[in-house]
Amino acid sequence: MMEVIEAAGYYLPQGFEEHVKAFTTEVYQDREIAVHLKAPSVSGAMVEVLADHLKKEREKYLAHQPIERIIDVLDEASRRWLDKSYPYRELALKTIPVITGFSREVVEASIDAEMESSLREDIWRALRSEIKNPLYLDDFQYSPELDGYCRAFGPKLIVSFFSENIPGLPHLLFMRSALVKAACLGKVAAGEPIFAPLYLRTIEEIDPGMANCMAVLYWRGGEQEIEEAAFNQADAAILFGGVEACNSLTKRIPRGIRVLVHGHKLGFGVIGRKRLRHQGLEDLVAAVAYDCSMFDQQACLAPHGYYLEEGGEVSPQEFAQALSTAMAGMNEKMPRGRISPAEAAAINQLRGKYEFKELRGDDVLLVVSPHGTDWTVVYERDPGIFRPSPLNRALWIWGVDDIFRILPAIKPLFPFLQNAAVAIGDEREKEFIRRLGELGVTRITSPGKMLLPSMMWHHDGISPLASLLRWCDVEKKDEIGGMETRER
């Protein structure tokens, strides 16, 4: 029996739907579930009116909300999503797999991970980490460093482009917009248009005034008239996507608009010989398997490969064997999703190539899932250049005699470097991390934590909240009547 689910691939502020001339419905189907995804036909004129509306709503409401109140709303939203009986969560778990191909288990794990790191304390800490005193967002506050008073103003309207199919990424951007008290218009990707609208419906349940400053639409990337209408009204833009898409957008953004770009990136891991021991091996391979399996390795945070140092108690080959067991276990717990013929073909070609290398007697090891292309582990000695993986749970294990030898292969990746898991386990770790930082890595973590960045992370090397702010400083201490300082 086919179950039909109606879902919205958009979110519009209350009362705005009357400006929509027409809706279209796309049908997605996977096995027993059909998702009828409704979305408005978008035009430049409509975006212009919407952007103006969002700014007015912000002026009326969000701009005057105390930061504490905003954080409480966001915290409450995260808590609702963490509740397994929350209806929107169940709706997301049913529909997102149909559209993205991810398994339900992957979507569930991602919602849990993202919401658990979006609770009250995380948000306060993220703000404090970037702007010291979050109350600068509410009013002038005394700054001991300045020996005066400061206030931070966020943009009026942030336009955000998402091109990834990673659920939950858009919600982070709506959180950030709310924290700087900006209205936000998000353009979602065709690959995952569901989560962001559902999240905004949660905000609407908790604080309709706040939700009225937010909207989600979909249009085909490159629609110049629509995009111009959006940029013309915005004072900040946040872009996610491939190098070419981001470049093309950046060129069309008028001057004076603050632009934060998060291009496509790649990750990798490094494990030193001291950490390659029999004791704890099971946990270590489970951690690596998690890094490689979450979002089916499609997120920029995911590793393409792990460099393993030779000379430890466990050889890289043994590690690859142990890892394959963990990959199989992970695939039971959190199955790999549907992938395209192109993706499957790429994995099968890679397997063919390495099977022959193995038959030929090369120092390689290929361990693959018993069925289909579910997971693939390929061990080889470090080829000296960074070979990207075909992804979808295909992980390189590169053996290297000295961990520092990988640095020349990492260096040319500068524009794409982002996330690295590092476990050296001896005194060289500090120096190694220093070198990765110099080369352009923006996040270093432990194996198993690659996909779990905190809200405090300087996302792609930038301060995601502070970069959106404009400051006003009062550099005088006399005649400051009326300004008072609150503490939290």
Partner 1 sequence: MSELPKEARDLDRGILAFIQKGADHHDIEEFNNLALRTFEFQYNHIPLYQRYCQRRGITPQELSSWDQIPPLPTDVFKSTELFTLPSHIARTFMTSGTTMPNEKGRVHYDEGGLRLMDATIFAAASAFLVPDGVKTLILIIAPPPGIAPHMVMAYGMDRLKDCFGLPQSHFLVGRKGFQVKDLVNELHTSEEKGIPVTICGGSFGFVNFFDYCRKKRLKFQLPRGSRCLDAGGFKGKSREVGRGEFLDYCEEFLMITRNFCINLLGMTEIASQFYDNTLRNFTRGVDAPSFKVNPPWTRTLVVNPETLEPLPPGEIGLLRHFDLANRGHICAIQTDDLGKMVEGGFEIYGRARESEAKGCSLTIDEMTRAMEE
Distance CA 111, CA 166 (A): 11
Distance CA 457, CA 450 (A): 12
Nearer to partner 1, 364 or 465 (CB): 364
Smallest gap from residue 355 Cβ to partner 1 (A): 7
Smallest gap from residue 463 Cβ to partner 1 (A): 33
Nearer to partner 1, 118 or 165 (CB): 165
Nearer to partner 1, 208 or 388 (CB): 388
Nearer to partner 1, 256 or 341 (CB): 341
Nearer to partner 1, 353 or 476 (CB): 353
Amino acid at 365: L
Nearer to partner 1, 255 or 371 (CB): 371
Distance CA 51, CA 175 (A): 18
Nearer to partner 1, 350 or 420 (CB): 350
Distance CA 367, CA 78 (A): 39
Smallest gap from residue 183 Cβ to partner 1 (A): 37
Smallest gap from residue 248 Cβ to partner 1 (A): 14
Distance CA 235, CA 230 (A): 10
Distance CA 17, CA 109 (A): 33
Nearest residue to 289 via CA among 99, 390, 421, 418: 421
Smallest gap from residue 373 Cβ to partner 1 (A): 6
Amino acid at 49: V
Smallest gap from residue 418 Cβ to partner 1 (A): 20
Amino acid at 16: F
Smallest gap from residue 361 Cβ to partner 1 (A): 10
Give buried/exposed letters for 436-472 (b at 16+ CB in 10 A, else e).
beebebbbbbebbbbbbbebebebbeeebbbbbbeee
Q: Give the long-range contacts of residues 112-117, CB within 8 A, separation 24 or more.
A: 112/82, 113/294, 113/451, 113/452, 114/168, 114/171, 114/172, 115/78, 115/79, 115/81, 115/82, 116/78, 116/82, 117/452, 117/453, 117/454, 117/455
DSSP, residue by residue, 1-38: --EEEEEES-B--TT-GGG---EEEEEEEETTEEEEEE
Distance CA 13, CA 17 (A): 8
Smallest gap from residue 103 Cβ to partner 1 (A): 15
Smallest gap from residue 362 Cβ to partner 1 (A): 9
Nearer to partner 1, 83 or 244 (CB): 244
Q: Which two tokens stand for residue 271?
A: 């494990």
Smallest gap from residue 202 Cβ to partner 1 (A): 36
Q: Give the long-range contacts of residues 41-45, CB within 8 A, separation 24 or more.
A: 42/217, 42/218, 42/219, 42/223, 42/226, 43/225, 43/226, 44/225, 44/226, 44/228, 44/229, 45/229
Q: Which two tokens stand for residue 330?
A: 């992970």
Nearer to partner 1, 190 or 433 (CB): 190
Q: Which two tokens stand for residue 50?
A: 């919407």
What are the C-alpha distances in Å from 56 to residues 49, 63, 210? 11, 10, 12
Nearer to partner 1, 79 or 357 (CB): 357
**416: three-class secondary structure by DSSP:** helix
Nearer to partner 1, 157 or 365 (CB): 365
Smallest gap from residue 372 Cβ to partner 1 (A): 4
What does the binding site for partner 1 look like in residue numbers (CB under 8 A)? 339-342, 344-346, 348-353, 355-357, 359-360, 371-373
Q: Which residues, in sequence order, are CB contacts of 434 under 8 Å at separation 6+? A: none
Smallest gap from residue 371 Cβ to partner 1 (A): 7
Nearer to partner 1, 56 or 338 (CB): 338
